[in-house]
């Protein structure tokens, strides 16, 4: 399977200028391609093909005086910008026809130089190279210093250079992992009930407290936001304040991601099968608990469990979101009436006393052991996730949820 390995890079001031030039050229080519296709549609002309876009916006444009500066960057960067545009259009058309599952994809939109995140991609034909001294050599950029935290399992097929809102630079390598990484089988299985009071409650009764990284950083973020609001728009001090706010948010996100990686790795290593509930995070994000829901990061955590299970030969499944895991007795399978959120423990007429979250985790584990069990729980089989792409496809806002 393909995975991404991200590493921090430290370009020199001259290399930062070269990367900024590459970011701008890729953005211009992307916008030119989008504008050309929109104009063709408005004029009633046929859809402009991918090859036609490449010929007109790269090959011919670099020979024109007004676009001669496109030759200052690698042509692969420009080709990949058009590839992102084509991917965005394909996702949009597939969403319209119903072939693409999930949220509806909106048509691609123009990229802005004011976007907080900028990225360019180099593929193998760009002939990027990881040198023996640990530097990353990029065409027309130079040798970038990379902070290696681990070794790459195989030769990368592409590398994406990313500049985030905090002004940090990252190199994201796409590599193919080995097939001999399967962990030795073990007998234990676990069902996980995700929540806000406790981040995760296991079917064996283990409870993991919610770290609440965003809540703990609220005071500092509030002070930085107030400091930002006092700066004059367009001033250099305001730009510096924006970066300080972005760095504070990046620190929260990095801490949460590191904690989730450690927890998900432990769960996959210690259990042969992991079952979770398919939560509608998008819908919960529109409630009064939205801040706590986004702070928990359930979607990213379950995504880590899914791809790590596929990588190490474990079983992963999601119980249907409408499965009454909380109201069902894990001993007699009786479904009781709805309970308020403040009811943390309840008694079943069969005589069993249940902790609300532990009982739900046990039911999720029972539901995950079969595709369709006799209690009506629908289980979605685990899938190997596709690698993340950089195509600019936007989601439409639908008030009814996903």
Q: Which residues are catalytic?
A: 193, 277, 357
d(CA 159, CA 374): 48
CB contact at 8 A, 185 and 272:
yes
Q: Are strands 158-163 and 169-176 parallel, antiparallel or unpaired?
A: antiparallel
Q: Phi then psi for 106, rounded to 5 degrees?
A: -85, 160
CB contact at 8 A, 252 and 217:
yes
CB contact at 8 A, 75 and 120:
no
Nearest alpha-carbon partner for 188 in 302, 273, 311: 273
Q: Are strands 129-130 and 136-138 parallel, antiparallel or unpaired?
A: antiparallel
d(CA 317, CA 383): 9
> For residue 147, what is the DSSP state?
E
> For residue 70, what is the DSSP state?
G
> E strands along 248-368, which residues?
273-277, 315-319, 345-347, 353-355
DSSP assignment string, 219-235: HHHHHHHHHHHTSPTT-
Find the length of the chain.
402
Structure tokens at 22: 């590459």
């Amino acid at each position: 399977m393909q995975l991404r390995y991200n590493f921090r890079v430290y370009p020199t001031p001259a290399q930062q200028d070269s990367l900024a030039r590459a970011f701008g050229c890729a953005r211009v080519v992307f916008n030119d391609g989008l504008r050309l296709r929109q104009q063709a549609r408005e004029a009633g002309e046929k859809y402009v093909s991918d090859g036609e876009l490449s010929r007109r916006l790269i090959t011919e444009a670099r020979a024109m005086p007004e676009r001669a500066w496109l030759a200052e960057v690698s042509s692969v960067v420009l080709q990949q910008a058009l590839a992102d545009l084509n991917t965005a259009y394909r996702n949009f058309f597939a969403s319209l026809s119903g072939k693409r599952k999930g949220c509806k994809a909106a048509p691609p939109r123009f990229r802005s130089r004011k976007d907080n995140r900028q990225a360019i991609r180099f593929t193998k034909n760009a002939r990027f190279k990881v040198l023996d001294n640990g530097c990353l050599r990029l065409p027309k950029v130079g040798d970038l210093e990379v902070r290696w935290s681990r070794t790459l399992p195989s030769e990368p097929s592409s590398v994406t250079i990313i500049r985030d809102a905090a002004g940090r630079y990252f190199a994201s390598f796409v590599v193919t992992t080995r097939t001999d990484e399967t962990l030795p089988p073990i007998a234990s299985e676990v069902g996980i009930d995700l929540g806000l009071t406790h981040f995760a409650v296991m079917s064996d009764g283990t409870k993991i407290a919610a770290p609440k990284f965003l809540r703990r950083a609220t005071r500092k973020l509030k002070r930085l936001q107030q400091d930002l609001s006092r700066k004059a728009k367009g001033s250099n001090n305001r730009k510096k304040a924006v970066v300080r706010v972005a760095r504070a948010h990046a620190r929260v996100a990095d801490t949460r991601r590191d904690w989730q990686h450690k927890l998900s790795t432990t769960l996959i290593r210690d259990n042969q099968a992991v079952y979770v509930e398919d939560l509608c995070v998008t819908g919960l994000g529109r409630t009064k608990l939205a801040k706590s829901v986004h702070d928990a990061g359930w979607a990213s955590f379950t995504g880590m469990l899914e791809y790590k299970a596929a990588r190490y030969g474990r079983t992963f499944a999601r119980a249907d979101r409408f499965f009454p895991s909380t109201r069902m007795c894990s001993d007699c399978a009786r479904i009781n009436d709805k309970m308020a959120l403040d009811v943390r423990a309840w008694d079943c007429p069969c005589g069993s006393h249940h902790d609300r979250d532990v009982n739900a985790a046990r039911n999720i584990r029972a539901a995950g052991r079969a595709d369709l069990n006799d209690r009506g729980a629908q289980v979605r089989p685990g899938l190997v996730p596709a690698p993340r792409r950089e195509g600019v496809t936007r989601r439409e806002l639908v008030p009814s949820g996903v």
